[in-house]
Amino acid sequence: MTPILECVPNFSEGRNPLIIQAITNEIESVEAVRLLNVDPGKATNRTVVTFVGPPEAVVEAAFLAIRKAGELIDMRQHTGEHPRMGATDVCPLIPVSGISMEETVRWAHILAERVGKELTLPVYLYEAAQTNKLRNNLSVIRAGEYEGFFEKIKTPEWKPDFGPEIFDEKRGATVIGARDFLIAYNVNLNTTSVRRANSVAFDVREAGRIKREGDPVSGEIVKDDKGQPIMVPGSLKSVKAIGWFIKEYGIAQISMNLTNISITPLHIAFDEVCRKAEARGIRVTGSELVGLIPLQSLIDAGKYFIKKQKRSAGVSEKELIRIAIITMGLNELAPFKPEERVIEYLLKEQDDEKRLRLSLNDFADEVASESPAPGGGSVAAYIGALGASLGAMVANLSAQKKDWESFGDWAEKATGYKKELLSLVDADTKAFEGIMEARSLPKTTESEKASRTVAIKKATMHAIEVPFQVMKVSLQSMDILKSMAIEGNPNSKSDAGVGAVCARGAVIGAYLNVCINAVGSESDKDIAAILSEGKKIQESAMAKEKEILKLINLITNT
């Protein structure tokens, strides 16, 4: 897997589009880097930029952007709601795929050293890139902000990790590190009071608030044996939060960083803020996502909120995302467009789902054309997806009248099968194209002939594995269809039957493609094993179809 890094630098400029454009132009000038998102904020006077690519290219783009920001942003003139200490305030590297955190740390050190040396800029390391645990927290490093750093940098404990020990009046300093994926998330309140917003923030953030005797605001601070203030932890782990007033919107917000979304996911943070705000007589009106979000975070949120209504979550990905958006009010302050904010959607190549984007009519026309692809393999995957979809439909209808949790689980599982089978529609066509590309390789020299033979063998195996996967998933979907024939809504049992016919057809159709692609390679041990297993899957699918149709009892002599 090609190693991919994400970089999310925060620049202290959110009002001048020409400066922002100049910085992002530097990023886009690096080949292999893909700019995913630019999110400026006027009130915070800060822009969050997200880009991805191979490590070396990402580090180069980050260096160029930091250099350009230092040239164009004058911190002596900067004002904004967000804490900051430099023109490039923070620049984290995040492993996306094919790269470990240890490797990401190494690239963060390379970038930090280069910035400190070549740009003569004070650089601090944070999170995983910082070995000194007393100064690996961003908020601790940034304490005192730009104005306080002129003196702070002179103290031994705040000597920069790289670069000069003199604070740069125009550019400030920067923080570079390596971290896991972080969601920057603001929750909107129906108040303008920063004090009340901070009260809610202290209620939820992991660090909590200082313990006081009597009045929680003005009471005497309670200290431990060493004279340090005792903290009362907040209710959410791996969450940082503050309250602030956003003049641009005329509201106060809880501004949060969710630093480990496996511990505290987006929907739990939103719900908890709602509870704590209501306890203080404050109402949450919506929320705002800063930057990008992983697809699974929105899907999990959609499932969480739909299940709170005691409804089945076995609906489409699109519907789950819609529910997440409207429930959390992500479009209150500005339109929330998933295609522009979800990482996986932005990384997806246009050709990844070329056939799935076609209308039913256009897909049929393409199948009927003179081109050999899409052909039987793609059609088999598609009818398998239709079979799984019918299983989900019967489960969802049944969930409205029976045990919603059990039927909801079936619907979710069927929807998962449907999604995988749909992805195999285009995968089959690409696999066929891979064989054609391998066969077209040059074969003049002995070396070229050997390389071509290896490429053909590899492409052939892939072209066998794709329809074989269609067979396996389609057979698995028949277990749900059988359950729906037995326990589902009686008025929909014919739909379960049609689903079984589709699934059986998908298995047989996919097996035909396995066999045709294996012609001439039957002696290969791995391919022979797939052919043998495929035959068993086909027999099982045919038997299950008969069993399901008999259970439905609508067709005689079945």
Tens-digit pLDDT profile for residues 443-488: 999 999 999 999 999 999 999 999 999 999 999 999 999 999 999 9
Taking each helix axis as running N to C, give the angle between helix 404-439 and helix 446-487, from 0 to 180 degrees, rounded to the nearest 10. 160
Helix (H) or strand (E) holding 308: helix 295-308
Decide: residue 308, CB within 10 A, 0-12 exposed, 13-18 middle, 19+ buried: exposed
Mean pLDDT across the stretch 126-140?
92
- Write down all domains in the chain, each with its CATH number in brackets: 4-178 (3.30.990.10), 183-347 (3.30.70.670), 360-552 (1.20.120.680)
Residue 313 and residue 311: Cα distance in Å, rounded?
A: 6
Region 317-333 average pLDDT: 96
Other CB atoms within a 10 A radius of the CB of residue 95 amount to 23
Of 101-105, 211-215, 234-238, 267-271, the poorest mean pLDDT is in: 211-215
pLDDT for residue 351 is more than 70: no
The amino acid present at 286, given as its one-letter code, is G
pLDDT at 161 over 70: yes
Q: What is the pLDDT of residues 34-92, one digit of tens each?
A: 999 999 988 889 999 999 999 999 999 999 999 999 999 999 999 988 889 999 999 99
pLDDT score of 307: 94
Average pLDDT score, the chain: 92
Tell me the mean pLDDT in the region 20-27. 98
- Supply 88's token pair: 């490039």
pLDDT at 555 over 70: no
- Name the pTM for this structure: 0.75
Q: In 3-state terms, what secondary structure has residue 244?
A: strand
State what percent of residues in the chain have pLDDT above 70: 98
Is residue 2 pLDDT above 80, yes or no?
A: no
| pLDDT attached to residue 553 | 82
**H/E stretch holding 533:** helix 525-552
Element (H, E) at 272: helix 266-279
And the tokens for 474?
A: 């389609």
Six-digit token string for 171: 């550019």
Distance CA 25, CA 157 (A): 37
Give percent of the chain with pLDDT exceeding 90: 76
pLDDT tens string 246-291: 988 999 999 999 998 889 999 999 999 999 999 999 999 999 998 8
Helix count (H) and strand count (E) of the chain?
17, 13
What pLDDT is recorded for position 401?
A: 81
Burial class of residue 275, CB neighbours in 10 A (0-12, 13-18, 19+): middle
Residue 413 three-state SS: helix
Q: What is 383-400 written as a DSSP string?
A: HHHHHHHHHHHHHHHHHT
pLDDT score at 68:
98
Q: Give me the active site residues, please.
A: 82, 428
Q: What value does the mean pLDDT take over residues 379-405?
A: 92
Q: Do 515 and 527 meet the contact criterion of CB atoms below 8 Å apart?
A: no
Of 74-78, 362-366, 414-418, 544-548, the least confident: 362-366
The 10 Å CB-count burial string (b at 16+, else e) for 218-253 is eeeeeeeeeeeeeeeebbbebbbbbbbbbeebebbb
Query: Residue 181: what pLDDT?
Result: 85
Task: Residue 439: name the closest of 463, 422, 419 by CA.
Answer: 463
Alpha helices in 400-488, H assignment, sequence order:
404-439, 446-487
Give 353's pLDDT tier (boundaries 50, 70, 90). low
DSSP 230: P
